[in-house]
Structures are given as structure tokens and as C-alpha cells.
Amino acid sequence: MDTVSMASGILAAQAGGLQTQIAATILKSNIDAEKSDVLTLLGAAGLGGSSSANVAVGIGGNLDMTA
């Protein structure tokens, strides 16, 4: 294997490693966003809907959450 081929292989490996790091960062960000969404939904259900600060009194009181 000549020097140019070895250098090219090393650069390709480094680029692949960088792409893997970027993909992992994006994946973690997406997981954190999904976790936040789930916690928001569970928190709103656990509080009986009282977390909706800008909603008039009585709105959502008859919401069927069993479906």
C-alpha cells in the first residue's frame, strides 16, 4: 500500500468518525425532544388539565382520556 492510499484511508476514517459523532448528537437531541414531549403530556394529564394557563374555566373538563 503506498503513502497516498494510506493517507486517503486515514482521512476517510476520520470523516466517517465525524459523521458518526454528528449523527449521535442529532439523535440525542431528538430523544431529548421526544422525552420533553412525553413529560409535557404526562404532566398535563396528571394535573387534570390545570396546566393550561390561557384556557377559560371549564374548557377540557369533559375530555375522555380513555380512548
State residue 25's pLDDT score. Answer: 93
Average pLDDT per 10 consecutive residues for the chain, totaling 67 residues: 88 90 92 87 60 64 64
Does residue 60 form part of some domain? Answer: no
**The pTM is what?**
0.49
State the DSSP H helix or E strand holding residue 14, giving kind and residue range, or none if neither. Answer: helix 3-46
Does residue 66 form part of some domain? Answer: no
Class of residue 44 by CB neighbours under 10 A (exposed 0-12, middle 13-18, buried 19+): middle
Does residue 63 form part of some domain? Answer: no
Does residue 24 form part of some domain? Answer: yes
Domain that holds residue 23: 12-45
- Count how many domains the chain has: 1
Does residue 58 form part of some domain? Answer: no
* Spatial contact of 52 and 59, defined as CB atoms under 8 Å apart: yes
Handedness of CA 45, 50, 56, 57 (dihedral sign): positive
Does residue 6 form part of some domain? Answer: no
